[in-house]
Structure 1
């Protein structure tokens, strides 16, 4: 009983201290605001003391921001506890951020979990715009994710797709449900692991599975810590213990990747190079434009897994969910595949240019369900955007979810209509070529400008054949329902709220 009373007293004191800290912070900001010359700040909803606009935000952040933007405009300022951000919600303002003032918004802020990342200072995805970031981006474009490197790994992607096909066939013959969420995630994880490290989910060590688990843990913990930004300075106290858990997960990843790197260093040189081989080659090169550390290599590999595995898998799940819920589109895609490819072989990457409806399905899926619905940037210097002053060091969130569902730009914006990407196709060839480079500012599935996703080409190479194969070979019935539940999950992520579990039945004979 004494222990319980002591705990209650401790929590009571902590609660009093927490409220006091918030009040002091609030009053200091109020005083500073009153003594600062007035500038035209972005419009903002009415805020409550301490919590700011948290009471207006639901668990699905992109949709919450979209709803607020409809009332407060395409550029608005929100305060989430101790954290303030500027939210962009239409194509014209996004163009200001990504093109007109691109250099001023070419960096990304540290937030949430950054102080717990053991590779802090080596992260490519969140690096400040500077020499290190420019070197790594150039390396991605010329070697790591360049067309020749992607061409060399085409066999890996084909082999992993065949393994997925065989696992679905097995379930179909046995009349059992297949978890497409898990199957497609294993496809992307094995593919990226083999391309990056020449390892997959097989053998006794099962290294690829270990990597995916630890990366999944890192994403989950980093997301939880990012929401801790609302506590301001108090977040460093790590009341939840998630910071320590993240450090532990990262240390495990570090040991695992260090072992793989040493294996690469010990093996005899061969003609084929995976991403780790290329990075180690630059690490050993005394004449390299910029000296890479081992932490730089590990951090880059972690970024590849965090940015590529679950996001590509989620996009394929959304595509299958939309197709199952739209049987006419499903049938139209299957007919195109049968006409162009035939029933006797799998769709290959080389077939994609000849399958316009397949390309339209993927484009429409990414419009409705972008893999990165919120793109975060940092303002380097005070500037004017959409007639308002955005202060230096402000966090800017571009809500591409809202941009790509803007009724002023898209007809029936919330409907799955792949045909919209086939209209006047002959007249829009140039536009289609630019879409994934983010130069069409109403369509930004992979961001735009210097900080656009360098892995977009790889993601597209994985998505098209996988979705085509699942449509070509199988009919699908939703488990425990007539329709796929297309509700979006919580937080910053783009996953479905519920796993996509369906009963496959063979359409083609094996």
Structure 2
């Protein structure tokens, strides 16, 4: 995969002339009427990408000390407003939240989450409001969370018993593995209805999914570098991971449709049951399609 560091040296060296040309053109152009926040000097093409360094959070903190709690950076063609104070964050997240409500439309999450059908990456609008309402009222209500108390208690008891047996045999206990396994079992039962013993191959797919979400390809911010997509392997990885998860979630949905479990029949409803019930009861006006169910459940199981 091509990372930011691979091409920065070449980009910076080829941008120096354009940088001085840009400064000359700015000095001879009329002043802008827009009142923009303070911004560090940027290079043509790459903007302020070269100033992020290996620890972006520290670099942004250092820049904020010089340019203030609200500053404008340019990551290639993408402008980014950086807030680094409580007052600025409150103004953006609370007082002016509707203006800043939209999510950036990134290509990698878009392909992994069924064209942004989940809550986290969906564009702010009617669809997002409906999906958020479904999640808050049907999946994450206090009553629903309390209904999974038995699952949490059972899995916690199994974890304690496992630790006890390992301790009795004088074996070292890897608490990270034990806690991860317990969390995996709880979330699988709550979201999918049963435990899934994920094999090593699927665990690697999980890990790769997380890595892909953290990938920042240069072509996302610098369009003229889109030709590098043919060589960085990102597209192939996305296609492979997306296919593996889609096949898994499609099988889960089909299994739930066959058994059609209901609370009235003495069975506990998991997330897939709830979403399928909502889809069936609101067939004529529901935004909850199969891809929506997969995207929402995928966000949940990624917490494993």
- Please give the range of the TM-score, normalised by the shorter of the 2 chains: 0.7 to 0.9
Cα distance in structure 1, aligned partners of 2:56 and 2:248 = 34
Contact 1:106 1:129 in 2 (8 A): yes
Alpha-carbon distance in structure 2 between the residues aligned to 1:104 and 1:218? 31
Structure with the larger strand share: 1
Residue 166 of structure 1 pairs with residue 157 of structure 2:
no
Structure 2 distance, partners of 1:248, 1:237, is 19
Matches within 5 A, 1:244-283: 244-271=236-263, 272-283=268-279
Distance 1:57 1:118, change over 3 A: closer
1:78 corresponds to: 73
Q: Answer whether contact 1:156 1:194 (CA < 8 A) is retained.
A: yes
Cα displacement (A) at 1:67:
3.0
List per-residue Cα deviations over 1:124-146 (Å, max 9, x = no partner).
21111111111111111111111
Work out which of the residue numbers 99, 106, 110 in structure 1 matches 2:105.
Answer: 110
2: CA distance between counterparts of 1:132 and 1:225?
A: 27
SS at match of 1:150: helix
The alpha-carbon deviation at position 35 of structure 1 amounts to 6.6
1:299 maps to 2:290: no
Check whether the contact 1:221–1:243 (CA below 8 A) recurs between aligned residues: no
When structure 1 is superposed on structure 2, of 95-104 and 186-195 the one drifting more is 186-195
Say whether the 8 Å CA contact 2:260–2:273 is kept in structure 1: no
SS in 2 for 1:113: helix
Call closer, same or farther: CA 1:157–1:30 in 2, change over 3 Å.
farther
Q: 1:181 to 1:261 in 2, by over 3 A?
A: same
What number of residue pairs does the alignment pair up? 285
**Cα contact 2:105–2:121 (8 A) shared by 1:** yes
Aligned CA RMSD, in angstroms, stands at: 3.2
Partner Cα separation in structure 1 for residue 259 and residue 104 of structure 2:
39
For residue 168 of structure 1, report the CA deviation from its aligned partner.
3.4
Supply the distance in 2 between the matched residues of 1:37 and 1:95 (Cα, whole angstroms): 28
2:127–2:287 contact (8 Å) kept in structure 1: no
Partners in 2 of 1:37 and 1:68 — Cα distance? 23
**Residue 243 (structure 1) aligns with:** 235
Q: Once the 2 structures are TM-superposed, how far is the Cα of residue 94 of structure 1 from its aligned partner?
A: 0.9
CA distance in 1 between partners of 2:142 and 2:257 (Å): 25
* Higher RCO, 1 vs 2 (CA within 8 Å, ≥6 residues apart): 1
Q: Provide the C-alpha distance between the structure 1 equivalents of 2:137 and 2:152, rounded to a whole number of angstroms.
A: 21
Distance 2:174 2:53 in 1: 28
On the 8 A contact 2:191/2:270 being kept in 1, the answer is yes
Scaled by the length of structure 1, the TM-score of the pair is 0.50
- Residue 410 of structure 1 corresponds to none
What is the Cα deviation at residue 195 of structure 1?
0.4
2:214 aligns with 223
1:57–1:65 CA contact under 8 A, matched in 2: yes
SS across alignment from 2:248:
helix
3-state SS of 1:160 partner: helix
More helix by share: 2
Cα deviation digits, residues 239-298 of structure 1 (max 9, x gap): 311222112111111111111111111115332211100111122234564232111111
Q: 1:366 — aligned with what?
A: none
Other-structure match for 1:69: 64
Where does the alignment leave 5 or more consecutive residues of structure 1 unmatched?
A: 1-14, 310-510
Assess, with a 3 A threshold, how the Cα gap between structure 1 residues 60 and 160 changes in structure 2: closer, same or farther. farther
Query: What do residues 456-497 of structure 1 show as CA deviations (whole Å, max 9, x unaligned)?
Result: xxxxxxxxxxxxxxxxxxxxxxxxxxxxxxxxxxxxxxxxxx
> Which residue of structure 2 lines up, in the alignment, with residue 93 of structure 1?
88
CA distance in structure 1 between the partners assigned to 2:62 and 2:159 by the alignment: 39
Aligned mates of 1:183, 1:301 — CA distance in 2: 23
Residue deviations 1:30-65 (CA, integer Å, cap 9, x gap): 499757724232222333454443343243333332
